[in-house]
Structure 1
Amino acid sequence: MPASPSTARAINDRLALRLLQREGPLTAGQLKQLTGLSRPTVADLVERLTASGLITVVGESGEQRRGPNARLYGIVADRAHLAALDVRTEGVFVLVSDLVGRVLAEAAVPIGGDTGTGPAVEQAVAAVERAAKEAGADRLHTVGIGAPGLVDPATGDLRDSGGLPAWHRRLAAALQERLPEARVTVENETNLAALAEQREGAAHDRDTFVLLWLGHGVGAAVVLDGTLRRGASGGTGEIGFLPVPGTTALPSATDCDGGFHSLTGAAAVGALAREFGLPRAEPMDGPGVAAVVREAVAEVTGLPGAGSGPADRFLDALAHRVAIGAASVASILDPGCVVLGGEVGQAGGAVLAARVEERLRRMSPLVTEVRASSLGGAAVLRGALLTARDRAQDELFAPAER
């Protein structure tokens, strides 16, 4: 059955808006070329979108050209303001952007482990409000939050996870109460990092891959055929609970000691570094251990003969541990590509990735490329912003579909 005129107009309008989002300002002629639509159809959609306040003239194309055909049309960037949060155990990073993703303000607030739940939530909310004010945003349309832990697919809330601060679970509700007009969403930090790597980073050419997060804790995000997979309870990728033979115990429902976490979590990597005589990480968290890994990589790549020293042997041992988890993922999902993210994965870079890939070739007959994250520490914030922008655009662009 052919589409009705109104449905066809909605499809064409959405196509044009997505092109303007992806490519930036375009002329009507460029829209015609990219969409394959007729000149009258493009003229109609430009008029509709301009009248609805979604696009506007932002300039002209070429110094020698003048007139309607040379006008550059772009999305009205200040139609909505967005906030993205990267929630860590030790604090919160915030950025505020316009509708096209241009960052207008940033903020960071450390939150100590001895801070009470109420004061911690208030500090985080105040950081968001401060960044919004600096950005000149009267209101926030959408707030995207990236946090460690499981997100309940039925409610969209963070589940109670052992070892994570209680203020993490209270933050989304507090932001929704303080910003009643905003749409507040929470997503697992590793999932957001994977979305960012898929759109803009190391996996931009992959429809299927796994992001292996190596930081204070460990986790994985699974993207199959271009779609992020969350699982029945939101727990796809909880690789920290993967039982590993030879460890001290088996993991339990509330404790991942004895699982993959006990091999590759920050505390385990710090202890491994000490075994090889490398500096102790202070504090024993993701950033502290990442600094030790970064120094080891610098040593093996920068000094002649360092390939047989303690740093080299430490990186080999770490790569072997990481490969155990990567091989388990590969044997079940056959993703063809594993991206190493998180503080430790970022610090190891291409050196660690190459060593993990070499060990995977020994462990598995399935060809699996291992890449280092190209977005590094910005991946979670970038993923939260992309998710917030997508949600805002779905709503704001909807009038063009009616």
Structure 2
Amino acid sequence: MAASPSTARALNDRLALRLLQQEGPLTAGQLKQLTGLSRPTVADLVERLTAAGLIGMVGEAGEQRRGPNAKLYGIVADRAHLAALDVRTEGVAVLVSDLVGEVLAEAALPITGDAGTGPAVEQAVNLVERTLKEAGADRLHTVGIGAPGLIDPASGELRDSTGLPEWHRRLVAALQERLPEARVSVENETNLAALAEQRDGAARGRDTFVLLWLGHGTGAAVILDGVLRRGASGGTGEIGFLPVPGTSGLPSATDCEGGFHSLVGAGAVAQLAESYGVVTEPEESPAGAVRAAVAADVPGAAGARFLDALADRVTVGVASLVALLDPGHVVLGGEVGQAGGEALAGRVRERLAAMSPLPADVRASSLGGGAVLRGALLTARDRAQDELFGPGGAAPGQKSSPSGV
């Protein structure tokens, strides 16, 4: 059954908007070529989307050819402003962008454990408001938050987790109260990092892969057949609780001590580095020890032997993920994965090939410490664009004008 003229127009508008999202500014001729639509149809949709305030002329193309230059059309970037937050146990980072994702302002703030729940929430919210003001915006359309812990798949809320500050859970409600017009959502930090790596990083273009998070905490994000898998309770990827050899016991329902976290968590990595004589300044994180080892990665040296031992441990978890999921691709993320780079990823890749019959490429994160913020921004941008563009690309309340299809 053929689509009605209004449905066809809506589909054409949506297709054009998606292309402008993905490709950036385009001429009407380029839209015609990419969509396969006729010239009159493209002219009509450009007129409709311009009238709706969704796209506008942003420049000209063809400056080096004779005749009039072709107009370049792009999404109206200041139609909405977005915020992305990376919430950690020790602080929060925030950025504000326009609708196409260009960062306008960013800031970070340490929040100590003794700040108290109320003051910590107030500091974080104030940081968002200051960054919004610095960006020259007066309101936020969408806020995306990345945080450690489990997300309830039914409510979309951050679940109460042992060892995580209470202000994390209170922050979402506080932001919604202070920014009532904004759409606020929270997602697990590892999941957001994986989405960013898939879009722009070490897993770009892959429909199936696993991101192993190696940092203060230990976790994994699983993307299978293009879908982020959360599980029945939101706990897919809680690999820190995985029972593994080489630990002092077994994990419990409330404590991952004795699980994989005991081998590769921040404390374990710091102890391992010290045992090999890889010493850093007291204020340095375990990732600092890994960076020092990479810088001194000479066969037989302490740094190389430490990286070998760390790779042995990491491979235990990677091999388990590969045996269960057969993802074909594993990204090492988090502070330790980023610090280890190819020196650590290459070692894990070699050990995995000897341990598992299933092939899997192991790569270090290419987005590093910005992966969570990048993922939060991408999800906020997608949500805002989907809402503003609507199922057919027309603005809310905007009626499409009659035109050919």
TM class by shorter-chain length? over 0.9
The aligned runs of 1:3-14 (5 Å cut-off) are 3-14=3-14
Q: State yes or no: 1:299 paired with 2:296.
A: yes
Q: Distance in 1 between matches of 2:282 and 2:322?
A: 34
**Aligned counterpart, 1:384:** 376
The structure carrying a bigger helix percent of its residues is 1
- TM-score normalised by structure 2 residue count: 0.95
The answer on whether the counterparts of 1:49 and 1:400 sit within 8 Å (CA) in structure 2 is: no
| Length-normalised TM-score, structure 1 | 0.96
| CA distance, structure 1, for counterparts of residue 171 and residue 318 of structure 2 | 33
Q: What is the aligned partner in structure 1 of residue 130 from structure 2?
A: 130
Alignment match, 2:87: 87
1:328 is matched with which residue? 320
Give distance in 1, aligned partners of 2:107 and 2:306.
Answer: 36
- Mapping of 1:35-184 within 5 angstroms? 35-63=35-63, 64=65, 67=68, 70-184=70-184
Tell me, in whole angstroms, the C-alpha distance in 2 between the residues paired with 1:325 and 1:188.
20
Give the aligned partner of residue 339 of structure 1. Answer: 331
- Residue matched to 1:303: none
What residue is the counterpart of 1:353 in the other structure? 345
Report how far residue 7 of structure 1 moved: 1.6
**How far, CA to CA, are the matches of 2:387 and 2:381 in structure 1?**
10
Query: What CA distance in whole angstroms lies between the structure 1 residues aligned with 2:393 and 2:129?
Result: 33
Moved more, 2-11 or 78-87: 2-11
> How far does residue 401 in structure 1 lie from its aligned partner after superposition?
4.7
Gaps spanning 5+ residues in structure 2: where?
395-405
Identity of aligned residues (%): 78
Report the CA distance between 1:65 and its aligned residue: 5.5
For the Cα contact (< 8 Å) 1:330–1:336, is it kept in 2?
yes
**Further displaced range: 156-165 or 77-86:** 156-165
What's 2:398 paired with? none
Residues of 2 paired with 1:65 and 1:380: CA distance? 46
SS in 2 for 1:140: coil
Cα distance, 1:310 vs structure 2:
1.3
SS in 2 for 1:199: helix
| Structure 1 alignment gaps of length 5 or more | 301-305
Match of 1:288 among 263, 285, 297: 285
For these two proteins, the number of residue pairs brought into alignment is 393
Q: Deviation of residue 282 (structure 1)?
A: 3.0
CA distance in 1, matches of 2:270, 2:5: 63
1:197 maps to 197
Aligned partner of residue 228 in structure 1, secondary structure? strand
Counterpart-to-counterpart distance in 2, 1:399 and 1:230: 26
Report the Cα distance in structure 2 between the residues aligned to 1:107 and 1:129, rounded to whole angstroms.
Answer: 11
Whether contact under 8 Å (2:17, 2:393) holds in the other structure is no
Query: Are the equivalent residues in 1 in contact too, given 2:49–2:393 (CA < 8 A)?
Result: no
Q: What is the CA distance between 1:329 and its match in structure 2?
A: 0.2
In the alignment, is the contact (CA less than 8 A) between 1:353 and 1:370 conserved in 2? yes
Which protein has greater RCO, CA pairs closer than 8 Å, 6+ apart? 2
